[in-house]
Amino acid sequence: MSIPADSVRLLRAMLRRAQDEPHTIALLTDEELAALGQDPSSTPEPFPWISRTRGVDQELAGRFGVRSLLARGLLREAADNNGGPAVLDVPPEVRVVLDTRRIGLGYVRALRPNEASNSSKIMVVQPELGVFEEEISPQGFHLFTACAYDAAMARLARWCLPADCAGHLGGGVRIPAAQWAEYLLAELPTEPTVIAIEVYLPSPSGERAAEQWMVAYGGSSAVLARPLGAELLDVQPLTVEHLRELLADRIDQSLRFARGA
């Protein structure tokens, strides 16, 4: 399904506005997003509050979401020209929020799987101007922001790691993937926190390919693991700045690959 021309203009205007500093677009809840609907061509996004609340499914939550959107002035009642019941009208500035989820060039998604409700942050990379960021809290709040490329990767790196992470005293190693958990317990000074990063961006062929990165930190030590084939992991020391650089490099590569450069 193509994006309407009006939405394209709004999306580009948001990204242009974000070139100097990130631009907040909207804060919506699980219920409100369920009410607005989800295009099947968009990036997969969780509804953490809906999924963990017994007896509440997406359809039921959407009914509550309609009332919430009306109360906030984000949904309008429009008279039916044939004299029937009023119909609900979604203003373009609200509908465009769903368009920020369209897959664009690809996306980078970070997930804290050890948290009960899986907080996450996803960057939907556009082929020009920047990135649409969606940060999702365990309570089901979705904060949508437009960012320039560099700002987006810096924000994602800071979300993944504490500011005081100073890497890891050891050098890079290769370990069997099956020993990842044991490695973290042995090498990090405290109980590790693990962040899963899914990178879904163009590869050298120009086609999108999924890559799985794993970030782990404990105390002020942090490491990054990336698969080497099916059975090995390449594990490297990591800092916030190094993670930002790696993410920025991967975005730059994907832009070149997509253009066939």
Give residue 73's identity as a one-letter amino acid code. Answer: G
Residue 39: predicted pLDDT: 64
pLDDT (average), residues 220-244: 94
Do 78 and 46 meet the contact criterion of CB atoms below 8 Å apart?
Answer: no
Q: Is 40 or 174 the better-scoring residue by pLDDT?
A: 174
Q: Is 257 or 86 the better-scoring residue by pLDDT?
A: 257
Question: 23-32, 72-81, 144-153, 232-241: lowest mean pLDDT where?
Answer: 72-81
Q: How far is CA 148 from the centre of its chain?
A: 15
Task: Please give the Cα distance from 67 to 53 (Å, whole number).
Answer: 19
Residue 114: predicted pLDDT: 63
Q: pLDDT grade, residue 216 (50/70/90)?
A: very high
pLDDT tens-digit readout, 74-100: 888 776 666 666 677 888 888 888 888
pLDDT at 159 over 70: yes
Query: Which positions ≥6 away from 77 have C-beta within 8 Å?
Result: 70, 86, 87, 88, 89
DSSP codes joined into one string, the chain: -PPPHHHHHHHHHHHHHTTTS-EEEEEEEHHHHHHH---TTBPP---HHHHHSTT--HHHHHHHHHHHHHHTTSSEEE--TTS-S-EEE--HHHHHHHHTTB-TTEEEEEE-TTSTT--EEEEEE-SSS-EEEEEE-TTSEEEEEEE-HHHHHHHHHHHHS-TT-B--SS--EEEEGGGHHHHHHHHSSS--EEEEEEEEEE-TTSSEEEEEEEEEEETTEEEEEEEETTTEEEEEE-BHHHHHHHHHHHHHHHHHHHHT-
pLDDT at 179 over 80: yes
pLDDT tens-digit readout, 217-228: 998 899 999 999
| pTM for the structure as a whole | 0.88
**% of the chain exceeding 70 in pLDDT:** 89
> Could you tell me which residues are beta bridge partners of residue 183?
none
pLDDT at 27 over 90: yes
Residue 48: predicted pLDDT: 79
Residue 81: predicted pLDDT: 67
Query: Which positions ≥6 away from 185 have C-beta within 8 Å?
Result: 192
To the nearest whole number, what is the mean pLDDT of the chain? 87
Residue 58: predicted pLDDT: 80
pLDDT tens-digit readout, 93-122: 888 888 888 878 999 999 987 655 578 999
